[in-house]
Structure 1
């Protein structure tokens, strides 16, 4: 009887693994079906972050909830990897159809944005094309470009990226050509840095600091 239960559990696990694998597949390129799948994945992307953010903020402020944060970050990473696999297969098989809904375009953007440098580097050109075509917001491309530059250890252009220093302060990653920053942000409909900080404080109770004298070398050391 015990052996039967073990075999039964193994069978159930195998079925679940097969189902999981199938869920990552792109069955066809019908826009309606892609829309349904992408919208679901976009909602999942945001839902797991809604779980992580308050726990991470509490840990940042009080040092409490470390194990819960680790568990949720692991969950977030699993969701991200699963979604990235789907988007990669979709683009390989179907391209990135312009006919998708705005929700689906945004979902693809979020899934790429929440990936590593290699994945971003592979698809950022298509994100730029969609932004130029008006299928994504202009600040979407600006934000992804900034993230790519930060991952590469380079100065960002639009001031959208921050990192947490050892003292748990959120610092703005160094920005190139600060004198023309306001014009660049305005060109992609980003608010001023002051408005950006105020919004972060209001929406997430996050305090940001912009040290304009911070060098790339210093930022890299602090980020590690």
Structure 2
């Protein structure tokens, strides 16, 4: 009887695992990561990767969870798979706080060398000077933001530290903006065929972090770059949304969140036509609102969002 019960239990487990889709497992893994339950996150990623191992971003995130869970062997396995499947951002992997525990391992240098060799082949015809300059700008932009978020997310955030790091971040952003504006004004919006995926992403990030007047200046240039295949449509969607909200309008793709002034909770900022937002997001290569909201630790309920939209617009002073 005991064997029969055990067999039934295993069979039920298999059925339950098959019932979960790849995206559902990844969503569970992301949710666990957000609440710092790294061991369970790793477990859910393992279930996801039994179904498929195609998305380099998911594999990279899984490597981060494994690193934070001190599962170093698995972290390196997933990071290397991520590189095989298309990961290219060497500046980010070097400064990612989640991967700090891996730096003392021999396998770390092998992993970085593997990625560098891959990039050397891909980027044989890149503008090396600009690629290197943009890599330095990327590191400047992301490192300080990593420091800021570490303090901001602490159990008891230190306001003085937050203000201090915020000022440093503003200064770095100003310097980076001057450098990127010079590139854009002289060369236009350079595609990844000239400065690589990371360099192309850096152009967007610096403009995304700039003041409204600069975003308005370079938004048309980025739109044209997307038409010509020189910029990422998903990145453009983020910039379109940020500019719209800063101008007091509704966003289009639901990429921007805000803090509800009444409840003090993070929510998705006002958007046009919420019923068709997933269709618009799909057109620019973004995942569904439910998937995106989950990464922000926000529960997405379309009907509830629509009910609360009028009040949210009023609180945000959004134009009709």
Which range, TM-score by smaller chain?
Answer: 0.7 to 0.9
SS of the residue 1:214 aligns to: helix
Mapping for residues 40-51 of structure 1, pairs under 5 Å: 40-51=136-147
* Secondary structure of the corresponding residue to residue 82 of structure 1: helix
What residue is the counterpart of 1:68 in the other structure?
Answer: 161
Shift in alpha-carbon separation, 1:128–1:81, aligned structure 2, 3 A? same
State the distance in 1 between where 2:127 and 2:222 align.
19
Aligned residues of 2:147 and 2:165 also touching (Cα < 8 A): yes
Q: Which residue of 2 aligns with 1:53?
A: 149
Q: TM-score, normalised by structure 2?
A: 0.53
Q: Which secondary structure does the structure 2 equivalent of 1:71 belong to?
A: helix
Hey, what does 2:283 align to over in structure 1?
A: 187
In 2, the alpha carbon distance for the partners of 1:73 and 1:131 equals: 32
- Counterpart in the other structure of 2:242: 147
Find the counterpart in structure 1 of residue 103 from structure 2.
none
Q: Secondary structure of 1:111's partner?
A: helix
Q: Tell me, in whole angstroms, the C-alpha distance in 2 between the residues paired with 1:183 and 1:159.
A: 12
Structure 1 equivalent of residue 68 of structure 2: none
The partner residue of 2:195 within 100, 113, 117 is 100
Q: Is 1:217 aligned to residue 310 of structure 2?
A: no
Please name the residue that 2:255 is paired with. 160
Asked if the contact 1:169/1:209 (under 8 Å) is kept, the reply is no
1:91 correspondence with 2:184:
yes
Equivalent position of 2:295 in the other structure: 199
Matched, 1:33 2:129: yes
Q: How many residues align?
A: 184
Alignment match, 1:4? none
Question: How far off its partner does 1:209 sit?
Answer: 6.5
Once the two structures are TM-superposed, the CA of residue 55 in structure 1 deviates from its matched residue by 1.7
CA distance in structure 2 between the aligned counterparts of 1:81 and 1:181, rounded to whole angstroms: 33
For the residue of structure 1 that corresponds to 2:184, the secondary structure is: helix
Alignment check: 8 A CA contact 1:159 1:175 kept: yes
Structure 2: 5+ residue stretches without partners: 1-125
Whether contact under 8 Å (1:80, 1:115) holds in the other structure is yes
Post-superposition offset of 1:197: 1.8
**Once superposed, what is the RMSD of the aligned Cα atoms?**
2.1
Give the drift of 1:180. 1.4
- Counterpart CA distance in 1 for 2:178 and 2:300 is 36
TM-score by length of 1: 0.74
Listed as ranges, the gaps of 5+ residues in structure 1 are 1-29, 202-206
Is the Cα contact below 8 Å between 1:84 and 1:115 reproduced in 2?
Answer: yes
Equivalent of 2:209, from 77, 93, 114?
114
In the alignment, the residues of structure 2 paired with residue 76 and residue 164 of structure 1 have an alpha-carbon distance, to the nearest angstrom, of 21
